[in-house]
Every structure is written in C-alpha cells, then in structure tokens.
Amino acid sequence: MAGYFSEIFRYDFMIRAFVAILVITPLFGMLGTMIVHRKMAYFSDALGHSALTGIAIGVVCGIADTSLSMVIFAVVFAFLLNQINRKRLVATDTLISVFASCSTAIGLAILSFGGNFSKYSALLVGDILSITSREIIYLMVIFVGTLVFWFLAINKLNAISVNPTLAKSTNISVRVIEDVFAIIIALVVTLSIKWIGILLINALLILPAASARNISMNMREYHGYAIIFSVFSGVIGLVMSYFNNVATGPMIVIIASVIYFATYIYGRKRR
Amino acid sequence: MRKISKPCGFHCVKIKDIGVSFGDQVILENINLHIHCGQLLAIIGRNGAGKSTLIKAILDDIPHTGTVEFKDVEDGKIQKIKIGYVPQTLNIEENSPMDVYDLICSFRFGHPIFMKSKKIYAEIKEALEEFEAGDLIDKQVGRLSGGELQRVLLSMAVMDNPNLLLLDEPVSGIDKNGMDLFYEKMEYLKHNYDMSIVVVSHDLDYVAKYADQVVLIDKEVMAEGTVKEVYNSPEFKNVFGNTQFDISTSSNSTHIYDVDSAKRHVHRRVVEEEQTPFEAGYKGRKEQE
C-alpha cells in the first residue's frame, strides 16, 4: 500500500490533485447536507449547467478569463432563481428546469459557433489533474468562507427549511440567508467545475449527503457521515483512477454511488 | 426561564385594523382584536374564511395593513411584542436526520447544530419536560406523532417567554387524548405565564370549553364576545348551520380530527336537526363541571 502511495506522489500533479480533493470533498459534503435537506438538488444542477452560458458570455464579450464571467453569471442566475421562486407562481422544479435548459442551450449554441465546441468539451467531465497551486489557494479561501457561513447560519438555514413563517417569527432574515446560501453554492459550483465537470458536479454534491441521510438520526451524524463519505469517495476515486487510467471525476462519482446504495440497503434493514 | 405564578392582567395586545388583499381580492378587512394577558381567544370560521391568513398577518409574514400593539395598561407604554408561534405542520420528511434537540436548537440558539452542547441540551430538556415531552429530545422529528410534535412546538414557542402565543391548531393527526392534553396545557399556560393566547381552532367543542373570548371571522369580524354570545349569534348559525349547536351530544361522539371529518362534522350539524338547543347543552355542560 505504501508503495502505491509513494508511486502516486512521485508526480507533482498528483500531489496537487490530492490536496485539491482534500479541500473540495469536505466542502461538497458539507454544502450537500443542506442542499439535500432543503430539496435544492435541481437548483445546484441548474447552476452547474449555467456555467456553459457564463463561459459563452465571456467568449462573446471577449473577456480573457472566462472563469470570471462564469462566476458572475452563476451568481446572478442563482439570485434571480431565488427571486422568481419566492413569487411561488410556478412549481420550483419546472421553473428551474426551464432556466437550466434555456441557459444550457444558449451556452451550447454560442460555444459551438463555427464548430469550436471541442475546445470546451473538457468542461463536461472535468480534469482534476490539471489544477494549479494558485487555484488550490482560491478553493481554500472559498472553503474557509463557507465554513464561517456554516457556523453562523446553519441553524437558521435549518429553521427556514422546517417552517419559513416560524423562522421569520423568530427574527431570522429568511431572504438574506437564502440568498447568501444560493450565492455560496454558485461560487463553489463554478469554481470547482473545471476539475469535476458539469455532468458530475451535482452528483458529488448530492450523493454523500443523500447517503448520510440514509443512516443518520440527527444533524451531528448527518454532517459527520456526509463529510466522511465525500472525502472517502474523493481519495479512493483519485487513487483508483490513477491505477486504472480512467477520468477521476467519474471514478469518484461511481464510488459515491456505491456508498449510496450500500447505505440505502443498510438503512432500510435497520428500520 | 422567567415564569410567574399569575398573569398580571395589565398587559394587552391590540390588533388594529388588519387588512390583507392579494391584488383586487380582499381576504381580510377591518380586523380589530383586543386580548389581555391570561386570556385565551379562539378564532373560528369556515374553511377559507381567512383564519390562517390572519395569523400570518399578525406574524408579519405577508403584506398587510394595520398594526399589532403590545401595551402595558398600567402606564400606557407601548412595548415591542414578542410572539410565540405554533404552526399547524412542519415541512419535515419522516426520515429527516433531525431530532428534537436539532429542531429547537436551530430556532432558539446560535450554537451550530452539527456540534452538540451539553448546556443547551439540558436547557431544551427542561423546557420539554414542562410539556411532558422530555423523553422526546433524542427522537427524530419526522417520526413524532401529531400530539408529540405539538407538545414539542409548544415548549419551543413558550421557551422564549412570548407576550402573545399564536397557535394554529392542527386539523389532523391528533386523537382526542392529545387534544384534551393540549387544551389542558393551554389552561396551565393561562394561569402560569404572563401571556395572551390566540388559537385558530377547528373544533367548536374545545372552543366552547376553554376559550375566554371567541371571534368568528369571515373576511371580517362577524361576531365576537364570550362563547355564549358568539354561539348564539345569527352569524354563527349562518356559518355552522341553522340548527342549534349542541355541545354535550357532539362531544360524546368519536372525534377523528382530519379535514374531511371536520367538514362532515360541521355538515352533520347542518343536516341533522339536533334536538337540544345549544343553550341548554352549554348550560348542561356547565352544570356537569
């Protein structure tokens, strides 16, 4: 085993990927708990898809760093979705689907203009091995920011999900908390999409939390298991992808899915 | 927890000119209510009369006109009101990984729920014990029975020492024992806390037995006063049937508190001519007590 690891860490790109996994996965595990709890799985999925449009807008406007336009677009998108959602005129899932398909289509249309899409197809599955040290530092900053938000707002987020009227009556600023949470999801999703990939990012957000939900009785267990499952799938997925020569993102998601089914069966037996 | 032996009777909550409309549609208008501490006011009305909307307006959850004032009668000072609210239901799935500790901690404390605090745990347990719910602290909220959940929500609402306790009585999931226990707790609160209580009720029997004041609403206040005054008013008969409402017979019947049976319950009163007039039934009940 030690031999395996020393082989992996001979390469700088593997060390960086490993560090990146250790930053991204606990963050995803943590955020996932409240995304699943608040039934926002569709929402985070739509945010992932909006990344395409963000990049397309960047390309059209001639911005050198398309990550910037992607982040800005996702934040605006998240904020808008929240606003429209509050009016409660349309079912949330329908609304999010409409937004997501619309923005994906616009993104694809612009990016495929002149047959150039292959340049961007790496975005779909992501490549964690290409991460730079500087990008890892960005991720760490986001991680710390999210952690601070989590300590301050987790109770309020939970309260709002239980009953918004009751939450409001205890002086919780429902709108602010909801908006900040949506923006944090937007930031985390867009900043890690290059490495995880549009197709898989939501799986990595949802699966660890959903697995933890299968076997948890309270919030302590829920958070603990979600983070453990997330880090475990990340590390094992990275190592396995190295030895089997497959893309890292899909490998991580396969392992997270196996954990989901295992916890599902275990959870059912226990009840 | 600040608990006093008796309500002082000098505080009052004034609900002034509450009106709610969505677009052109007027849901509520000119609602004026006046409740003293130590009193239980019941809001009754047909389905869709605006009862829950009124609660939401008092909580400031929806746009409305009018104000809610909390006044000390002795010195006439207007203070900031603290409202405790017990909703009808919670948005929680059965397997939701949230126990009662998590629920109360997330509403009442700043300590993040993913880390347990022994001090807060003890505090929550103490609050729950007042409502015979101490054992429920480690139970998953989604697996509580209707009555258990209501006791938990009640302890949570009272923990903060509100001036006004607002309760939206659930229409389902609570058996007769649960309802009895619930209203007995209301009596206890009335006598041991300094607060006014407003209950939106779907059960006229319990209202008759426990309310100090009754308000019948249908877009506006149709009738208000004591149980006797309201139950005898023509407006009451208009809404709940032209027949006399008899408490002693209806309270002996089996209650299943779901919406449909509540409707049937009301409907039956309309269709069947009950022999005993309400007045006689009410008096009979009083004599029994």
Q: Is A212 on the interface with B (CB under 8 A)?
A: yes
Nearest CA in chain A to B160: A170
- CB < 8 Å to A214, chain B: 95
Name the minimum distance, in Å, from the CA of A34 to any CA of chain B.
Answer: 11
Q: Which two tokens stand for residue B178?
A: 């649960």
Q: Is A246 on the interface with B (CB under 8 A)?
A: no
Q: Is B98 on the interface with A (CB under 8 A)?
A: yes
Amino acid at B37: C
What is the predicted pLDDT for the residue at A86? Answer: 78
Name the minimum distance, in Å, from the CA of B272 to any CA of chain A.
Answer: 39
Q: Is B10 on the interface with A (CB under 8 A)?
A: no
Work out the end-to-end distance of chain B between its first and last CA atoms, rounded to an integer number of angstroms. Answer: 33
What is the predicted pLDDT for the residue at B288? Answer: 42
Q: Is B257 on the interface with A (CB under 8 A)?
A: no
CB A57 within 8 Å of CB A47: no
Mean predicted confidence (pLDDT) in A19-41: 92
- B114/A220 touch (CB, cutoff 8 Å), yes or no: yes
Mean predicted confidence (pLDDT) in A108-124: 78
E strands, B2-141, are 11-22, 25-36, 40-44, 65-72, 78-79, 83-86
Name the minimum distance, in Å, from the CA of A50 to any CA of chain B.
Answer: 29
- B87/A165 touch (CB, cutoff 8 Å), yes or no: yes
Residue found under tokens 């908006």? A179
Best mutation target, B114, B120, B138, B163, to test chain A (most A CBs within 10 A): B114
Name the minimum distance, in Å, from the CA of B105 to any CA of chain A.
Answer: 7
Q: Domain-by-domain residue ranges, chain A?
A: 2-270
pLDDT value at A199 more than 70: yes
Mean predicted confidence (pLDDT) in A45-54: 86
* Contact map slice: A 116-155 vs B, CB within 8 A: 150-151, 154-155
Pick from A158, A165, A221: CB nearest B106: A158
State the ipTM, two decimals.
0.87
Helix or strand holding residue B84 (H, E): strand B83-86
CB B6 within 8 Å of CB B191: yes
CB A51 within 8 Å of CB A70: yes
- CB < 8 Å to B138, chain A: 217-218
What is the predicted pLDDT for the residue at B202? Answer: 80
Residue found under tokens 């495929």? A112
Mean predicted confidence (pLDDT) in A41-61: 86
What is the predicted pLDDT for the residue at B289? Answer: 37
CATH of domain A2-270: 1.10.3470.10
Q: Which two tokens stand for residue A177?
A: 């908390």
- B107/A213 touch (CB, cutoff 8 Å), yes or no: no
CA distance A146 to B103: 22
Determine the 3-state secondary structure of B222 from DSSP.
Answer: strand
DSSP A17-66: HHHHHHHHHHHHHHHHHHHHHTT-HHHHHHHHHHHHHHHHHHHHHT-S-H
Using pLDDT thresholds of 50, 70 and 90, give the confidence band for residue A122. Answer: confident
Residue found under tokens 């918004």? A164
CA distance B214 to B42: 5
Using pLDDT thresholds of 50, 70 and 90, give the confidence band for residue A21. Answer: very high
Q: Residue A239: how many CB atoms within 10 A of its CB?
A: 18
Q: Is B138 on the interface with A (CB under 8 A)?
A: yes
Q: Which two tokens stand for residue A1?
A: 């085993």
CA distance B3 to A77: 49
Determine the 3-state secondary structure of A78 from DSSP.
Answer: helix
Q: Is B109 on the interface with A (CB under 8 A)?
A: yes
Nearest CA in chain A to B102: A219
CB B217 within 8 Å of CB B51: yes
CB B247 within 8 Å of CB B276: no
What is the predicted pLDDT for the residue at A112? Answer: 84
What is the predicted pLDDT for the residue at B117? Answer: 92
What is the predicted pLDDT for the residue at B261? Answer: 39
CB B56 within 8 Å of CB B166: no
Mean predicted confidence (pLDDT) in A113-131: 78
In chain A, where does DSSP find H-type helix? 2-8, 12-37, 41-61, 66-87, 92-111, 122-125, 133-162, 164-169, 174-196, 198-215, 219-244, 248-270
Q: Is A177 on the interface with B (CB under 8 A)?
A: no
For B220, phi then psi, to 5°, come to -140, 175
Q: Which two tokens stand for residue B220?
A: 């506006």
What is the predicted pLDDT for the residue at A19? Answer: 93
- CB < 8 Å to A164, chain B: 61
Name the minimum distance, in Å, from the CA of A30 to any CA of chain B.
Answer: 10
Q: Which residues of chain B have pLDDT under 70?
A: 1-9, 73-74, 76, 171-173, 242-289
- Give CA angle at B2 (B185, B124), nearest 5°: 70
Determine the 3-state secondary structure of B86 from DSSP.
Answer: strand
Mean predicted confidence (pLDDT) in A250-258: 93
Name the minimum distance, in Å, from the CA of B265 to any CA of chain A.
Answer: 29
pLDDT value at A26 more than 50: yes
What is the predicted pLDDT for the residue at A205? Answer: 93
pLDDT value at A57 more than 70: yes
- CB < 8 Å to B96, chain A: 37, 213
CA distance A103 to A47: 10
Q: b/e string for B58-76 if b means 16 or more Cβ within 10 A?
A: bbebeebebebebbeeeee
Q: Which two tokens stand for residue B31?
A: 């609602």
- A170/B108 touch (CB, cutoff 8 Å), yes or no: yes
- A162/B91 touch (CB, cutoff 8 Å), yes or no: yes
Nearest CA in chain B to A157: B106
Q: Which two tokens stand for residue A219?
A: 């919030």
Mean predicted confidence (pLDDT) in A106-113: 85
Domains of chain B by start residue, with CATH: 11-90+140-288 (3.40.50.300)
What is the predicted pLDDT for the residue at B274? Answer: 35
CB A127 within 8 Å of CB A247: yes
Write out pLDDT tens, residues A219-245. Answer: 999 999 999 999 999 999 999 988 888
Nearest CA in chain A to B58: A169
CA distance B213 to B198: 9
Q: Is B60 on the interface with A (CB under 8 A)?
A: yes
Q: Is A221 on the interface with B (CB under 8 A)?
A: yes
